[in-house]
Amino acid sequence: MRIRRTTAKFRDSSIRSWPSLHGTRMPHALFVALLGLVGAIGLATIVWLISLVMRDVSIVDVYWGFGFVMLAWMYILSAPGHTTRAMIVVILVTLWGARLSLHLLRRKWGAAEDYRYRAMRDKHEARFGWVSLFSVFWLQALIMWIVSFSVFEAIRRLDPGTLSAPDIVGILVFAIGLFFESIGDWQLTRFKADPTNRGKVLDRGLWRYTRHPNYFGDALVWWGLFLLAASNPGSWWTILSPILMTTLLVKVSGVALLEKDLAKTKPAYRDYLETTSAFLPWPPRRSGPGGG
């Protein structure tokens, strides 16, 4: 009986002392975080090698979701103890990342290389292979690692051992985000699959209230994960994760880039721009005195 109590006491003590980046044993936690960076770069390099064989850099998009799943499992497997919060975070990230990558894989299957990467290939010619490694694959791995900070902190945080109110809110925010992203993607896929919709603009379902329900949902996912990480004092710094992801979605690789092309290729999209919220869901505005 005494041996069992001593063992349990040792195990509880080791779990409580496991570091967070804001704790007293930062070097050890930093090692695990840097191990995640190595893993992200390693996986990106493997995908890059596949892209050389396929002559298609677009497969980097498929790697995005699976990369986060890999990081989440790396972080939890390196921890000496697992809390309910940690397991929930890993499950949530796995559901989100697997769904996103499988969706992008289905969309990518049989399609040609994205025109943006083709333009890069034409510009750099023989050097494009090495250029794509640094400017596409390793850059995406670095961004992925930074965005995963909230996942790292939520998994590594061992106190309190039970879910708090901010944790519950974070799970709800994540669930709403996953709903918007999943349903938005599904509605768009069905719309594009109908040949009669060619040249038209999807303005029904979730797309009636926001021009980018999938991007809005993706942002909410990361704000939810941030809440799961930040309910503990000292974890506020992980706000960098949702801020970076939201900025990328709105200003860089998401809304801004996509709408620049759509406004040129689809005249009807200009009316859609005037009546529908760009990001946050909102009832559509009227396009003129007589209608909406």
Exposure string of 232-242, with b = 16+ CB inside 10 Å and e = fewer, is: beebeebbebb
Domain hosting 241: range is: 9-275
What's the predicted TM-score (pTM) here? 0.83
Enumerate residues 6+ apart whose C-beta is below 8 A from 264: none
The pair of three-digit structure tokens given for residue 110, joined into one six-digit string: 């049989």
Q: How many CA atoms lie within 13 A of 83 on its CB side?
A: 22
Q: Would you say residue 292 lies in a domain?
A: no
Residue 213 buriedness (CB in 10 A; 0-12 / 13-18 / 19+)? buried
Q: Would you say residue 281 lies in a domain?
A: no
Q: Are 205 and 183 in contact (CB under 8 A)?
A: yes
d(CA 210, CA 186): 15
SS3 291: strand
Number of domains in the chain: 1
Q: Would you say residue 25 lies in a domain?
A: yes
Q: Are 55 and 64 in contact (CB under 8 A)?
A: no
Q: Would you say residue 67 lies in a domain?
A: yes
**Strand ranges inside the chain, DSSP E:** none
Q: Would you say residue 105 lies in a domain?
A: yes
Q: Are 263 and 246 in contact (CB under 8 A)?
A: no
The pair of three-digit structure tokens given for residue 63, joined into one six-digit string: 């790697």
Length of the chain equals: 292
Q: Would you say residue 288 lies in a domain?
A: no
Q: Are 245 and 222 in contact (CB under 8 A)?
A: yes
Q: Would you say residue 282 lies in a domain?
A: no
Q: Would you say residue 267 lies in a domain?
A: yes
Angle 60-77/26-54 helices, nearest 10 degrees? 150
Enumerate residues 6+ apart whose C-beta is below 8 A from 98: 65, 66, 69
Q: What is the model's pLDDT at position 204?
A: 92
Q: What is the model's pLDDT at position 162?
A: 74
Residue 22 buriedness (CB in 10 A; 0-12 / 13-18 / 19+)? middle
Among 254, 246, 182, 175, smallest CA distance to 214 is for 182
One pLDDT digit (tens) per residue for the chain, 292 residues: 443 443 344 334 333 334 444 444 444 778 888 999 999 999 999 999 999 999 999 899 999 999 999 999 999 998 767 788 899 999 999 999 999 999 999 988 878 888 788 888 888 888 888 999 999 999 999 999 999 999 999 888 776 667 888 899 999 999 999 999 999 999 999 999 999 988 788 989 999 999 999 999 999 999 999 999 987 778 889 999 999 999 999 988 777 777 777 766 677 777 888 889 989 999 988 754 333 3
